[in-house]
Amino acid sequence: MFGQANVLAQGQAEFPPSVGDFYLPSILPWGAENSYWFTKITAMVWIAVGILIIFFLATYRKPQLVPTKKQWFAESIYGFVRNNIAVDMIGHAGVRFAPYFTTLFCFILLTNFFAIVPFFQISPNSHIAFPAILAVISYVMFIWVGIRHHGFVKYVKASLVPPAPWYILPLLVPIEFFSTFLVRPFSLAVRLFANMFAGHMLLLVFTLGGFAMLSANVWLAPVSVLSWVMTIALTFLEFLVICLQAYVFTVLTASYVQGALADEH
Amino acid sequence: MYFLAAEGGETTHNPIIPVWQEIVVGLVAFGVLCFVLMKFVFPRMEQTFQARVDAIEGGIKRAEAAQAEANQLLEQYRAQLAEARTDAAKIRDDARADAEGIRQDILAKAREESDRIIAAGKEQLAAERATIVRELRTEVGTIAVDLASKIVGESLADEARRKGTVDRFLSGLESTGAR
């Protein structure tokens, strides 16, 4: 918010915000356009990775049978994903996927959370590259798991051919193919991306809108204040969305893996 | 300036087309994260969970074993107690039986003794009676003979005859006495 306020004070940001606001200039080389190796976004990804690695390594350096507070906290994150997502969705076989799901969940949650952390204030997941990577990993993973579990032919048959009368199969098989093998990665990636994109956009609109109204007419100041109050309210909403989307992404991945492992259609 | 420039380049920024540099960065970063967490952290958590389960189950097992042992000991004690009770009862019964036997023995002996004493008394009595009767008989005979010789004035010298006379007289006396 402050960054934007400063920018606006200098007359550099325009209202309404546009897609260009999501593409911040590069940090190294400083200020370069169209250089994406080291931007605020990639820096945040590295910071998220660093925080998670340090947190988990520090809390789990010397695990004890009777956990300390920190160890308990780290364990309960893992235990949540393990028991409430992996085991709930997949069953006992889900335990071996729990480490990946937990990593996925933590990564999405933290990178999403940057959207409402002061001075970060944008989620890397509002750039489709990161949700896309995660979605592709999930996609490859559930297909790989399915083929490993059933064998290629049987897996393809199990996932494409529903138990239905033969004359309806010409209709169902393309639908199944479309929904399982084409739509899934896109829906996963776009759901996360769009939520974070829209969340950032909403916050921008209400924050910058307040400034825009204030600079347009001093008498609109109360409306500006209302706009900023809305920003705060929307930040809470954004927090809900952050947690929800991290959960949904993980649950859907688990659900796809479960579908690939399932014996019946 | 940047923002204006960014807006100027808006046509090149399609939010639905990923930036390939970001894909590379994301892959590497997420790969590192996965590697570290999935290799060094979560398996150890699984191990800890397992160790915890083992510890709890082991505790329960130990408690169960202790309980079983206690039960077994209790059973053993109970069995021993029951055995001791039956033993005691048997000993008491034996003692009672012994006492009864001894009593019976003593009683029998006493009865025997008393019988013997009575019998001896009776015998003695009979013997004494017989002696007295014999003595009396000779004495009465002598006295009667003396009396008779005094009355008659003649001595009945003939022993055999005298004895026969006395016996007849006594028999007569006895028969009348018995009547």
Q: What is the pLDDT of residues B44-83, one digit of tens each?
A: 999 999 998 999 998 899 999 999 999 999 999 999 999 9
**A46 or B139: which carries more pLDDT confidence?**
A46
Measure in Å the smallest separation between the Cα of B69 and chain A Cα atoms. Answer: 28
Contact A249/A111 with Cβ under 8 angstroms? no
- In the structure, what pLDDT confidence band is assigned to residue A138 with cuts at 50, 70 and 90? very high
What is d(CA A249, CA B56) in angstroms, rounded to the nearest whole number?
35
Residues of chain A found within 8 Å of residue B59, distances taken between Cβ atoms: none
* 8 Å CB contact of B42 and A21: no
Measure in Å the smallest separation between the Cα of B88 and chain A Cα atoms. Answer: 55
pTM for the full predicted model: 0.71
Instruction: Give percent of chain A with pLDDT exceeding 90.
Output: 58
Residues of chain B found within 8 Å of residue A78, distances taken between Cβ atoms: 42, 45
Report how far apart the first and last C-alpha atoms of chain A are (Å, whole number): 50
| Three-class secondary structure of residue B161 per DSSP | helix
The pLDDT score that the predictor gives to residue B12 is 63
The pLDDT score that the predictor gives to residue B32 is 95
The pLDDT score that the predictor gives to residue B97 is 93
Measure in Å the smallest separation between the Cα of A105 and chain B Cα atoms. Answer: 11
**B1 or B114: which carries more pLDDT confidence?**
B114
Q: Which of A23, A78, A124 sits opposite B6 (nearest CB)?
A: A23
Give the CA radius of gyration of chain A: 22
- In the structure, what pLDDT confidence band is assigned to residue A13 with cuts at 50, 70 and 90? low
Q: What angle do CA A8, A13, A18 make, to 5 degrees?
A: 140
Domain count across chain A:
1
Q: What angle do CA B157, B160, B163 make, to 5 degrees?
A: 95
The pLDDT score that the predictor gives to residue A216 is 85
Positive or negative, the CA dihedral B80, B81, B84, B89 is: negative
The pLDDT score that the predictor gives to residue A25 is 78
Mutate: best of A53, A122, A211, A253, partner B, most B CBs <10 A: A53
Task: List Cβ neighbours of A59 (8 Å cut-off, separation of 6 or more).
Answer: A70, A71, A73, A74
Mean pLDDT of A51-68: 90
Mean pLDDT of B114-133: 89
- In the structure, what pLDDT confidence band is assigned to residue A112 with cuts at 50, 70 and 90? very high
Residue with tokens 């398996």: B43
Residues for chain B: how many in total? 179
In tens, the pLDDT along B14-43 reads: 888 888 888 999 999 999 999 999 999 999
* 8 Å CB contact of B22 and A129: yes
- In the structure, what pLDDT confidence band is assigned to residue A3 with cuts at 50, 70 and 90? very low
The pLDDT score that the predictor gives to residue A249 is 96
Mean pLDDT of B132-138: 84
- In the structure, what pLDDT confidence band is assigned to residue A131 with cuts at 50, 70 and 90? very high
* 8 Å CB contact of B13 and A133: no
Task: List Cβ neighbours of A223 (8 Å cut-off, separation of 6 or more).
Answer: A210, A213
Return the residue of A nearest to B18 by Cα. A129
What is d(CA B22, CA B6) in angstroms, rounded to the nearest whole number?
17
Residues of chain A found within 8 Å of residue B8, distances taken between Cβ atoms: 20
Mutate: best of A130, A197, A208, partner B, most B CBs <10 A: A130
Q: What is the DSSP string of A192-224?
A: HHHHHHHHHHHHHHHHHHHHHHHHH-GGGHHHH
The pLDDT score that the predictor gives to residue A33 is 73
Residues of chain A found within 8 Å of residue B58, distances taken between Cβ atoms: none
- In the structure, what pLDDT confidence band is assigned to residue A9 with cuts at 50, 70 and 90? very low
Q: What is the ipTM of this complex?
A: 0.86
The pLDDT score that the predictor gives to residue A101 is 95
Distance of CA A4 to the CA centre of its chain: 24
Residues of chain A found within 8 Å of residue B12, distances taken between Cβ atoms: 34
Distance of CA A153 to the CA centre of its chain: 33
Domain span holding position A78 = 2-261
DSSP B39: I
Return the residue of B nearest to A190 by Cα. B16
Measure in Å the smallest separation between the Cα of A128 and chain B Cα atoms. Answer: 5
* 8 Å CB contact of A75 and B45: yes
What is d(CA A22, CA A8) in angstroms, rounded to the nearest whole number?
16
Instruction: Give percent of chain B with pLDDT exceeding 90.
Output: 44
Does A161 score more than 70 pLDDT?
A: yes
**A105 or A29: which carries more pLDDT confidence?**
A105
Measure in Å the smallest separation between the Cα of B38 and chain A Cα atoms. Answer: 6
Return the number of other C-beta atoms located less than 10 Å from residue B34's C-beta. Answer: 17
Cis peptide before A29 (omega within 30 of 0): yes
Contact B38/A49 with Cβ under 8 angstroms? no
The pLDDT score that the predictor gives to residue B4 is 40
What is d(CA B127, CA A55) in angstroms, rounded to the nearest whole number?
130
Q: What angle do CA B67, B69, B72 make, to 5 degrees?
A: 110
* 8 Å CB contact of A100 and B38: yes
Mutate: best of A49, A83, A197, partner B, most B CBs <10 A: A49
